[in-house]
Amino acid sequence: MKYQLSIVIALSALFFSCNTSSEGGKNEEKKRPNILFIMSDDHAYQAISAYNNKLIETPNIDRIAKKGMLFTNASVTNSICAPSRAVILTGKHSHINGKVDNQHPFDTTQVTFPQLFQKAGYETAMFGKLHFGNNPKGFDEFKILPGQGAYYNPEFITKKEGNVTIQGYVTDIITDMTLNWFQKERDTTKPFLMMYLHKAPHREWLPALRHIEKFTSQEYPEPETLFDDYEGRGTAAKTAEMSILKHMNYSGDNKIVPEIVEELGITTDSLWNPGGFAREIGRMTPEQRAAWDSIYMPINEDFKKRFASMDSVELMKWRYQRYMQDYLGSIAAVDENVGRVLDYLEESGLADNTIVVYTSDQGFYLGEHGWFDKRFVYDESFKTPLLVQWPGVIEEGSKNTQMVQNLDFAPTFLEAAGIEIPNDMQGESLIPLFKGDTENFRNAAYYHYYEYPGIHSVKRHYAIVTEEYKLIHFYYDVDEWELYDRKKDPKELKNVYNDPEYAEVKEKLHEDLKALRKKYKDSKELDQKYIDQYENGGH
């Protein structure tokens, strides 16, 4: 009797478990999670209030961390746009996928994870910035910006309608496309993979008209290292061209109209950039331009009056404030629009079975070391924001401190969807971390940056990063090593490579770096191959 009863219980358990997940016979379909991958461009973790609210409140992006997990040590393998995207799509380091810099096109004969999703029955879509120089493969639908794209009235390359120009503000438009696809176009019998990719807050930092007034009327706290003199570091930090004071331009970046810059006599090309101004502000309709002028022209007039009397300290402070006003202002629309998409997922019930990721293609300097831009393995550009929600799998409000990388997205998503992970992918699945299992994860990250000589002049370098240390080799036209003690010197101001106290640490890190290069199949030969490609590639 007892035996019979347990069979009945077992059978009915089986029946109910099938039944609850079956709905119309779509048994498997129901269980596979949807994936919403949200990525912005150059969004520093310092500008997300889930990390730190000194600069801005981002209540909507923060919702993802409240419902899920905040990663405090997420990083990229190569801190620059198109290479980061190639790493994400292939699950392979730059030296393997070949997209080492922004210039050389991505090799589209490679397998990318969306192709595998499409083959496995997912419906796939991409809206926004890709920046590959060619179209994405494996997408049922895409609308992407050509190259960097424009903030106002942008053009899109579309899969089905050729090139189209759409009136409005880019962050709103990309979101409208995404929501329209969710609401009207998607095949609801299939799970989806959505790549929702913002251009903002990329240079030249143009906020939506509705946000300009608020953000230009605030003053932002300066980072401690705004006036860094680069003592204690090597040649690379000293020769990089990304100083807010010396390399930011007045028209494109600071929004001083070309005529006033010319009148003030600050017309060295790199400091002026009337072309950058025309490329962005020049796209506005007369109405948009009038609204823009009503706020920026008084700023222009004020600058014109004060410029002659400003010393370099005042000028740096002024330029930093101008930078933050526009940079943070352009994040406001990202946050609002992420909120619209999260609301839709919740209202439609899709949120329960959707993995939502918010990240950036890399970090960014917001005045730390006096800089803007990225590229270096130093923390602000090496690290990137990462927030993930997955109801039922990730505990609400949880945190992870491990060294996850953008390399890990492809294997993570494939595993979540039950699709086989190709053997040659180099990332590690984050699913155990989502579930709170932090054993056996990587304890050292590998980094390699290539785009030199080039804009911003950041020298080629590769590095090993552990929780405690960072060992960096700058090469090509220098041969310099740097070692940072991340615990004692979190701002990375003192290279201790030649400090005898670190002799043992240094030796061990050299060995570990060698092993890491071997593990990921990077080598001197490949360093040289990419130098040759660069030198022969007609830049």
Binding site for Ca ion (CB under 5 A): 41-42, 81, 361
373 vs 380 by CB, closer to ligand SGN: 373
Q: How far is CA 523 from CA 210, 233, 406, 513, 528, in A?
A: 50, 26, 21, 11, 9
Question: Minimum distance from CB of 430 to ligand SGN (Å)?
Answer: 24
CA 529 from chain centre, in angstroms, equals 27
148 vs 353 by CB, closer to ligand SGN: 148
SS3 19: helix
User: 517 contacts which partner out of ligand SGN, Ca ion, none, CB within 5 to 8 A by kind?
Assistant: none
Tokens for 362, please give them: 């890399």
129 vs 247 by CB, closer to Ca ion: 129
Distance CA 416, CA 168 (A): 36
Using CB under 6 A as the criterion, what x/- string covers residues 96-115 for binding ligand SGN?
------x-------------
State yes or no: residue 280 binds ligand SGN (CB under 6 A): no
373-402 residues near ligand SGN, rule: CB under 6 A: 373
253 closest CA partner among 318, 168, 169? 318
User: 473 contacts which partner out of ligand SGN, Ca ion, none, CB within 5 to 8 A by kind?
Assistant: none
Element spanning 445, H or E: strand 444-449
Using CB under 6 A as the criterion, what x/- string covers residues 119-138 for binding ligand SGN?
------------x-------
User: 456 contacts which partner out of ligand SGN, Ca ion, none, CB within 5 to 8 A by kind?
Assistant: ligand SGN
Query: Residue from 136, 252, 329, 427 that binds ligand SGN (CB under 6 A)?
Result: 252
Q: Which residue has the tokens 């700058």?
A: 474
Report yes or no: 224 and 360 within 8 Å, Cβ to Cβ: no
Element spanning 471, H or E: strand 469-474
State yes or no: residue 456 binds ligand SGN (CB under 6 A): yes
Q: Are strands 386-389 and 354-360 parallel, antiparallel or unpaired?
A: antiparallel
Query: Residue from 41, 140, 326, 492 that binds ligand SGN (CB under 6 A)?
Result: 41
Question: Minimum distance from CB of 273 to ligand SGN (Å)?
Answer: 7
- Residue 270 β-bridge partners: none
User: What does the DSSP 8-state code read for residue 524?
Assistant: H
Give the count of beta carbons closer than 10 Å to the beta carbon of residue 183.
Answer: 10
**Burial readout 467-486 (b: 16 or more C-beta within 10 A, e: otherwise):** eebbbbbbbeeeebbbbbbe
State yes or no: residue 459 binds ligand SGN (CB under 6 A): no
State the DSSP string of 255-277. ---HHHHHHHT---HHHH-HHHH
User: 398 contacts which partner out of Ca ion, ligand SGN, none, CB within 5 to 8 A by kind?
Assistant: none
148-167 residues near ligand SGN, rule: CB under 6 A: 148
Half-sphere exposure in the Cβ direction for 453 (13 Å, CA): 6
Phi, psi of 75 (to 5 degrees): -145, 175
Query: Residue from 62, 140, 204, 380 that binds ligand SGN (CB under 6 A)?
Result: 204
Question: Minimum distance from CB of 436 to ligand SGN (Å)?
Answer: 34
302-321 residues near ligand SGN, rule: CB under 6 A: none
Question: Minimum distance from CB of 225 to Ca ion (Å)?
Answer: 22
Report yes or no: 255 and 227 within 8 Å, Cβ to Cβ: no
Measure the CA angle with vertex 459, ends 458 and 460; round to 5°.
125
State yes or no: residue 363 binds ligand SGN (CB under 6 A): no
State yes or no: residue 455 binds ligand SGN (CB under 6 A): yes
State yes or no: residue 39 binds ligand SGN (CB under 6 A): no
103 vs 466 by CB, closer to ligand SGN: 103
By the criterion CB under 6 A, which residues form the site for ligand SGN? 41-42, 80-81, 102, 131, 148, 202-204, 252, 276, 373, 455-456
